Amino acid sequence: MTTLLTNARLIDPEQGTDALGAVLIEDGKIAQVIVNEDEKTVNRFRGETIPNVQTIDCHGKCLAPGIIDIGVKVCEPGERHKESFRTAGLAAAAGGVTTIITRPDTIPTVDTPETLQFAQRRGAEMSPVRIAPMASLTKNRAGREMVEMGFLMDAGAVAFSDGDNVVTDNKVLSRAMTYARSLGALVMGHPQDPTLSKGSAVTSGKFASLRGLPSVSPMAERMGLERDLALVETTGVRYHADQLSTAASLPALDRAKTQGLDVTAGVSIHHLTLNELDVGDYRTFFKVKPPLRNETDRLAMVEAVASGLIDVICSMHTPQDEESKRLPFEEAASGAVALETLLPAAMRLYHADQLDLPTLFRALSLNPAKRLGLPGGTLSEGAPADLILFDPDTPFVLDRFTLHSKSKNTPFDGQRMQGRVLKTFVAGREVYSA
């Protein structure tokens, strides 16, 4: 099928442009991009030169590369009652996410080629969007013995991470980084000092004291990042910090990039759009890891995305069932679902004139693709036709029970939001339509 998307507002993060145009899709790839389309050119594609063209009028809505979401937890196997590849794929398609980069913190851990291939097979069978799995850095994420990275890379692992199980043994981490460097593998770290952050539920400060909740200083993140960056400098490994959340971490990241280290960093959409006061009266849907920060930190993260210091925006999609969340705040599980709310939450930054759409999609699509060596994230000719059509202005009130995810633990429940995905295409095939 050849498809022509006309009258679209093209959001091109690679060129940094936002202009009217059309996109021609052939054989699952972008065949041609027509910027500032003229009627003669469009009519030619409607049938004069190419037969059986399906034309879709986008009515001036935004057409952008599909989101590539790093760090999604799909709870299959082991905790399928929280999320499966089918429900995660449906949620992703509805949220404009065309590639899911899955985390290895499942039961069992993704630390062997067999468990990795299970994720690949289940994803290919059940999910309408692409699945690209990460593997753990150490066996069972225990921080004692590194995995067989070479075999896992051959099996398709796109990166290695122990997630929030921070490797505390510097010798083990240094050896793993050195081995990863020899293979050209990407190591993903979770910058946090595990001793300081153990048992914490919120960020330290006046709010934490008033609520009587166990807290952690933002310095725990900076200390964890400084440690990781010192080992990156020692080993020369490719490194990505999964999510930064405090202003105190940014000078270290800037210094590492200035030194020429192969370092990138991400931030979760929750830390860009929410702050510690949203926890309010112990609302556990707002308990995430790392905890929500103060407003000064939130604004610093937004500015870091705008300047390019922080490279990636991710959902950090972490499904938790009702039993895990309906507990006292300090005992409740951390995490929030975000595959479907990632785009409308990001639109808050757009409507507040803090980030324009090309900058947002640079962090949502282009940079994740480049960092992981994946095709996509661009509107360039020859790129995969992984695209989303969305209206950034449509208002709605989020009802968590309408989400496709099995788990409904979203902090945005009942909130007024803007931005709706209208269509999602993967390899030119429509996988979602509103």
Give per-residue pLDDT as tens, 219-253.
999 999 999 999 999 999 999 999 999 999 999 99
Residues 193 and 83 occupy one common structural domain: yes
Residue 297: name the closest of 268, 271, 277 by CA.
271
Q: 331: phi > 0 → left, psi -120 to 50 → alpha, else beta; which?
A: alpha
Please give, one letter per residue, the 3-state secondary structure of 136-168. Answer: CCEHHHCCCCECCHHHHHHHCCCCECCCCCCCC
Residue 165 lies in a domain: yes
- Say yes or no to pLDDT of 205 above 60: yes
- Residue 79: what pLDDT? 92
pLDDT band at 208 (very low <50, low <70, confident <90, very high): confident
Q: Are residues 14 and 137 in the same domain?
A: no
Distance CA 5, CA 24 (A): 6
Average pLDDT of 339-349? Answer: 97
Please identify which residue in the block is written with the tokens 């048992």.
199
Local structure of 104: helix, strand or coil: coil
Whether 334 is covered by a domain: the verdict is yes
- Residue 378 covered by a domain: no
Q: How high is the pLDDT of residue 412?
A: 96
Q: Is 280 helix (H, G, I), strand (E, B) or coil?
A: coil
Q: What is the pLDDT of residue 207?
A: 86
Boundary of a domain, candidates 372, 403, 420: 372
Would you place residue 41 in the very low, low, confident or very high pLDDT band (cuts 50, 70, 90)? Answer: low
Rounded to the nearest 5°, which phi and psi values hold at 173? -65, -40
Angle between helices 250-258 and 219-235 (to 10 degrees): 20
Assess whether the previous peptide bond of 375 is cis (omega < 30° from 0): no
pLDDT confidence of residue 280: 84
Q: Is the pLDDT of residue 355 over 60?
A: yes
Do both 412 and 364 map to the same domain? no
pLDDT of residue 395 exceeding 60: yes
Instruction: Give the count of domains, the chain.
Output: 2
The verdict on 367 and 396 lying in the same domain is no
Same structural domain, 293 and 349: yes
Evaluate if residue 370 carries a pLDDT over 90: yes
β strands within 214-335, DSSP E: 215-216, 238-241, 263-268, 312-314
Same domain, 26 and 152: no
pLDDT band at 45 (very low <50, low <70, confident <90, very high): low
- 379 belongs to a structural domain: no
The CATH number of residue 247's host domain is 3.20.20.140
Q: Which of 325, 351, 372 is the last residue of a domain?
A: 372
Please compute the mean of the pLDDT values over residues 375-397 and round it to a whole number.
95
**pLDDT digit string, tens, across residues 98-134:** 999 999 999 999 999 999 999 999 999 999 999 999 9
* 338 alpha carbon, distance to own chain's centre: 9
Mean pLDDT, rounded, for 78-86: 94
Q: Is residue 95 part of a domain?
A: yes
Q: Angle 297-201-81 (CA atoms, 0-180°, nearest 5)?
A: 110
**Residue 267: pLDDT band with limits 50, 70, 90:** very high
To the question of pTM greater than 0.75 for the whole model, the response is yes
Q: Average pLDDT, stretch 67-96? A: 95
In the prediction, which pLDDT does 281 show?
A: 84
232 and 292 share one domain: yes
Residue 377 within any structural domain of the chain: no
Give the mean model confidence (pLDDT) for residues 81-95: 96
- Distances from the Cα of 302 to the Cα of 226, 247, 342, 386, angstroms: 21, 10, 15, 26
Residue-level pLDDT at 48: 55
Question: Given the DSSP bridges, would you call strands 62-65 and 202-203 parallel, antiparallel or unpaired?
Answer: unpaired
Q: Which residues sit opposite 64 in a β-bridge?
A: 388
In a domain, 241, yes or no: yes
| pLDDT tens digits, one per residue of 424-433 | 999 999 999 9
Residue 253 within a domain: yes
User: Which residues pair with residue 3 across a beta bridge?
Assistant: 25, 54
Does 303 share its domain with 265?
yes
Is the same domain home to 327 and 407?
Answer: no
pLDDT at 416: 96
β-strand partners of 95 = none
Per-residue confidence (pLDDT) for residue 308, from 0 to 100: 96
Per-residue pLDDT of 133-176, as tens digits, reads 999 999 999 999 999 999 999 999 999 999 999 999 999 999 99
Residue 32: its pLDDT value, please?
A: 92
Structural domain containing residue 320: 66-372
Asked if residue 158 and residue 9 are part of one domain, the reply reads no
Same domain (yes/no): 179, 245: yes
Question: Does residue 57 share a domain with residue 118?
Answer: no
User: Is the model's pLDDT at 46 over the cut of 60?
Assistant: no
Question: Tell me, what CATH number does 33's domain have?
Answer: 2.30.40.10
Q: Among residues 372, 399, 414, which one ends one of the domains? A: 372
In the predicted model, what is the mean pLDDT of residues 18-46? 82
